[in-house]
Structure 1
Amino acid sequence: MTVALNPAPCATPPTRSLHEAARLTDLLHIFDEEVQLCLYQRSPVEPITRYFAAAREQGVLGLGFRLVATPGQALDIPGLAALPGRDALLQDMAYLLDMYAELIGCPQVGMRLEVLDRAMCPRFHVDRTGVRMLCTYYGQGTEWLSEEAADRSKLGRLAQGMPDETSGLIRNPAAIRQAAPFALLLLKGTQWQGNDGRGAIHRSPAPDPLEPCRVLLALDAIW
C-alpha cells in the first residue's frame, strides 16, 4: 500500500530532545544521544479512518488485540471486523511492523491495538521500555512535553499526588504538543542503553466529549 506523506510545518521551535523527521530515514535520529522522541507526520489513510468510524457506529469495534508478530509474515487478525478498509488497516500495520523491526533490528515485535474510551495513561510519565512506536489511527493522538518544558523531579510519585498542572512538572503549558492521527511517534524509554533517568515524557489525551473513542497502535521490540 502506498501512503501519501505530507510533512507538517513545525509549530514550535525545535528542541534537543525532539526530532521532527522530514523523511522516514530521519527516524534514525532516535539513536542520537540527546533525542528522546522522533515525530514523523503521515497523511490520514481514509479507508482506515472510515473503517474505524463504521466499526464504532455498528458496535463491532471490539477491544483490540495483543500479539507477538514476526516481520515479513502476513498479518491475519480474525478479531478485526470484516468491513471495508480492513485490508488497508492490515497492510498499514504490517508496513509499520516491518519498518519498526528493521529500524530497531529486532526479530519479533510485540504489537497491541488499544480501543479506548478513556485516557489509558492520563498523567505525564516515562515508559520502562527501549524504543516504542505509537500511531493513533482514530481519535486524539498522544501528548508529550519536551525536555526543556518539564521538571523531571515532579514525575510520577515525586509529584506527591498533585495533578500535572499544579505539581510544577509542566514548566510551560504552551509547550504541550499532540500527535495528529496517523503520525508516527518513536519514544525512547528508561530501558534504552544509557537512558536511565531520561526518556520521552508523554501521556494519553483527555477524551473528547463529542468523540471519546481512540484507537492506538503500539509496537515494542522483542529479542
Structure 2
Amino acid sequence: MNALAPLSAQVKPTEPLHRRAAINSDANVLPQIYNENINIAVWQRNLESTLTEAVNTLINTNALKPLELALSPDNAFDQLIKALKPTEQNYNEAKALCEDIALLIEMFCCLFDLKRAGLRLKVLNNPMCPRFHVDKIPCRLVATYQGVATQWLNHSDVDRSKLGAGNLGKPDEESGLFTSTSHINQLNQGDIALLKGEYWDENEGAGLVHRSPPVAANEQRLLLTLDFI
C-alpha cells in the first residue's frame, strides 16, 4: 500500500460548517481529517484472518506486554520486535503484528509530516477511559486488534457542558451529555480511526467526544494508539 499524502499536500476547505465523520472502506479516507468539518476519519478495515489468528495466539499465550515507544517509520518494525522479544514458537505471529503496526506508523508519520510517532500497545481487561471525554491533543490514531472498539458521539448529538465536572457525578447515560443511547457510535475491530482533539488548529470546543467501551467479563482488548511527538 502506498503511504498517504503528507501535510503539505492537503488543502483545507474555506467554509467551516459543522463537525462530522468521514467513514469509508478505503484507506484514502484518512486524509479527510484535514477537512475542518471532519473530527473523525475512519478506515473500515477488515483484518486478514492470518493477522487475527496471530493476535489471538499472542494474547492467549500472554506473549504481549504493554509498550510505550517513540518510533520512526525507519526503525518501527525492528524496535517493535526487539521490545516484544518473541520466542521461536511465536515469532511468526509477532512478526505479522509488528509488520502491520509498522505500516500504520509509516502512514501516520507521512500523513502528518512527523519524524516519529508515540506508540502505546496494551491488552486491556477493563475500559481505559470509561467516561466520554475529549483529548487535549492535535490528533490520535486508534485501532483495536481484538475485542470491542472505541465508542464516540457525533458533534451535533453532544451537550458539551455535561463533559467532565459538568456531569455532576452522573453516569454518561444520565447526565444529559446525549439524549439517547442510539447516538452512541462504535468502531469495529480492525478499524483505523483518526480522532481530532482540542489542540488541532481552530478545533477548540469541537474535539471528538469518545470513550473506551465496556468490556465483558473474561474479554480482552488489544488497543493500539499513535500520537504526535
Q: Does 1:96 align with 2:96?
A: no
Which residue number in structure 1 is paired with residue 123 of structure 2?
Answer: 115
Which residue number in structure 2 is paired with residue 33 of structure 1?
Answer: 36
Q: CA RMSD in A?
A: 1.8
SS in 2 for 1:36: strand
SS in 2 for 1:97: helix
> Which runs of structure 2 are paired with 1:99-178 in the superposition (5 Å)?
99-178=107-186
- State the TM-score, normalized to the length of structure 2: 0.85
SS in 1 for 2:210: strand
Q: Does 1:206 align with 2:214?
A: yes
> Which runs of structure 2 are paired with 1:68-83 in the superposition (5 Å)?
68-76=70-78, 77=80, 78-80=82-84, 81-82=86-87, 83=90
Tell me how far apart the structure 2 counterparts of residues 168 and 108 of structure 1 sit (CA, whole Å).
39
Paired residue type of 2:113: G
- State the Cα distance separating 1:72 from its structure 2 match: 2.8
SS in 2 for 1:85: helix
Q: Please list every run of 5 or more consecutive structure 1 residues that lacks an aligned counterpart in the other structure.
A: 3-14
Paired residue type of 2:127: A
Report if the CA contact (8 A) 1:40-1:184 is conserved. yes
Paired residue type of 2:139: V
Paired residue type of 2:164: G
- 1:157/1:99 Cα in 2 relative to 1: closer, same or farther (>3 Å)? same
Paired residue type of 1:216: L
SS in 2 for 1:220: strand
Paired residue type of 1:217: L
- State the Cα distance separating 1:46 from its structure 2 match: 2.1
- State the TM-score, normalized to the length of structure 1: 0.87
Aligned residues: 208
- State the Cα distance separating 1:21 from its structure 2 match: 2.9
Q: Is the helix fraction higher in 1 or 2? A: 2
Counting aligned pairs with the same residue, the percent is 36
Which residue number in structure 1 is paired with residue 48 of structure 2?
Answer: 45
Alignment partner of 1:218 out of 203, 214, 225: 225
Tell me how far apart the structure 2 counterparts of residues 47 and 215 of structure 1 sit (CA, whole Å).
16
More moved, 148-157 vs 94-103:
148-157
- State the Cα distance separating 1:74 from its structure 2 match: 4.4
Paired residue type of 2:163: L
